[in-house]
Structure 1
Amino acid sequence: MSDLLQNQASNEITELDNLPEHREIVTFMRRSAPLNTSQRQALENYQHLILQYPVGDLRQVFTHPERPLTVEIGFGMGRSLVLMAKENPQRNYIGIEVHVPGIAQCVYEAGMAELENLRVLDADAIQVLKEMPDASIDCLQLYFPDPWQKKRHFKRRFVVHERMALVEQKLRTGGTFHAATDWEPYAEWMLDILDNRPNLKNLAGKGNCYPRPDWRPLTKFEKRGIEAGHRINDFLFEKIN
């Protein structure tokens, strides 16, 4: 696993949806980036925290599969995900990310904290969700995703009706989808789609953003947005049936 991830770190940007084996439109891009010494060591020392795709039912990778499962898509460098796992030891966490330095940094911090309720995965989140049993996820988190600003790239945005139908299918009744963005056009796009999903209820009331919750740690991208004067928009929706 560590050799595979380290090799990926040196790859060029890859247009995955143009590859013969991956015809579906994806919501991410792989970008090359170097690993520092601690990150390289983390890929070796904490291999047990890194899952190999395909994984099937993510609940079963934990010692206590009966505990609520939170899945975060695109966790960046993973610091906020690690903090949440530390603060909620009775909940299991899966982080899905394709940025190898982020995976390495996340498992480094999780390993140093001796966390047993967190695992990470380098994979296409859509494919992972498709393999999960229905009604198996308690919370799905999407914090500061790529807004794909150009119109021709809107198809790559995670929050579109087709992908949200999959999210609804995998969330348990009463489970939540929590998204956050500092890009106002994407916030408006998200709200329009989420408010019109048949199986999701806006916990802030239709047409409203959710007040920033204290339990969501500040992320690197959020901090950048605040420094740039951007408004932070949270959306919290409950699966109702």
Structure 2
Amino acid sequence: MTLTDLPAARIRTFHPRRGRMSDRQRDALERLWPAYGLRIAALDGPCDPAALFGRRAPLVLEIGSGMGDATAAMAAADRDRHYLAVEVHTPGIANLLDLVERHGLDNVRVAEGDALDLVRAMPEGCLDAVHVYFPDPWPKTRHHKRRIIQPAHVALLRSRLAP
């Protein structure tokens, strides 16, 4: 077997980050994840946004929600839209879940994992907006292949946007 016989390694656009969580965040993650969380790697078929939220509404996909402050503020200001936040930083996921509970937001779901895998599992035309924050944290030339904003990924996102 030669190197050319091996399957190509999958290039990720993110680096999973872990960090310390406060007791409040740990509690929120434990209690609220079953109701509001989605583990992207566990998807075994298409992702149906209406089933995820329990109703149909315009859907905003937020890639890289960080600690969730912006997501919670947008969701609180526009309760007629659904917000699906994708993040890989566990304390950020937990913090957003805490904000969801504190503000009584039923229009937010939090996904953990690779946003592009989630987008691939979504039906075409299901998104009304895509928010991408800090999209290119890969400054070195050798890391440019990891950037989320590149033609193939933009084409995928565009195919999921409603006309």
Q: What's the TM-score bracket when you normalise by the shorter of the two chains?
A: 0.7 to 0.9
* Partner in structure 1 of residue 50 of structure 2: 59
* Partner in structure 2 of residue 141 of structure 1: 131
The answer as to whether partners of 2:126 and 2:160 remain within 8 angstroms in 1 is: yes
**Residues 94-125 of structure 1 deviation map (CA, whole Å, 9 limit, x = unaligned):** 00001000000000011111110000010100
How far, CA to CA, are the matches of 1:172 and 1:83 in structure 2?
24
**How big is the shift at 1:32?**
2.5
Letter in 1 for 2:96: C
Q: Structure 1 or 2: larger helix share?
A: 2
* Partner in structure 2 of residue 36 of structure 1: 22
* Partner in structure 2 of residue 224 of structure 1: none
**Residues 196-236 of structure 1 deviation map (CA, whole Å, 9 limit, x = unaligned):** xxxxxxxxxxxxxxxxxxxxxxxxxxxxxxxxxxxxxxxxx
How far, CA to CA, are the matches of 1:44 and 1:59 in structure 2?
24
| Larger Rg computed on CA atoms | 1
Higher relative contact order (CA 8 A, sep 6+): 2
How far, CA to CA, are the matches of 2:23 and 2:7 in structure 1?
33
* Partner in structure 2 of residue 197 of structure 1: none
The answer as to whether partners of 2:36 and 2:109 remain within 8 angstroms in 1 is: yes
How far, CA to CA, are the matches of 1:21 and 1:32 in structure 2?
28
SS at match of 2:9: coil
* Partner in structure 2 of residue 154 of structure 1: 144
How far, CA to CA, are the matches of 2:37 and 2:7 in structure 1?
23
Question: CA separation of 1:22/1:85 partners in 2, compared to 1, >3 Å: closer, same or farther?
Answer: farther
The answer as to whether partners of 2:85 and 2:110 remain within 8 angstroms in 1 is: yes
The answer as to whether partners of 2:18 and 2:91 remain within 8 angstroms in 1 is: no
**How big is the shift at 1:22?**
9.2
Letter in 2 for 1:61: L
% identical aligned pairs: 36
* Partner in structure 1 of residue 161 of structure 2: 171
- Corresponding residue pairs, total: 153
Q: Structure 1 or 2: larger strand share?
A: 1
Indicate whether 1:74 and 2:64 are aligned.
yes
Letter in 2 for 1:39: Q
The answer as to whether partners of 1:59 and 1:69 remain within 8 angstroms in 2 is: no
* Partner in structure 2 of residue 23 of structure 1: 9
Normalising by structure 1, we get a TM-score of 0.60
Normalising by structure 2, we get a TM-score of 0.88
Structure 1 runs not aligned, ≥5 long: 1-19, 174-241
**How big is the shift at 1:81?**
0.4
Structure 2 runs not aligned, ≥5 long: 1-5
What is the RMSD of the two structures over their aligned residues, measured on CA atoms? 1.8
Q: 1:192-207, aligned counterparts within 5 Å? A: none
* Partner in structure 1 of residue 3 of structure 2: none
The answer as to whether partners of 1:39 and 1:108 remain within 8 angstroms in 2 is: yes
The answer as to whether partners of 2:135 and 2:149 remain within 8 angstroms in 1 is: no
* Partner in structure 2 of residue 112 of structure 1: 102
SS at match of 2:96: helix
**Residues 127-165 of structure 1 deviation map (CA, whole Å, 9 limit, x = unaligned):** 000010011100010012343100000111111001011
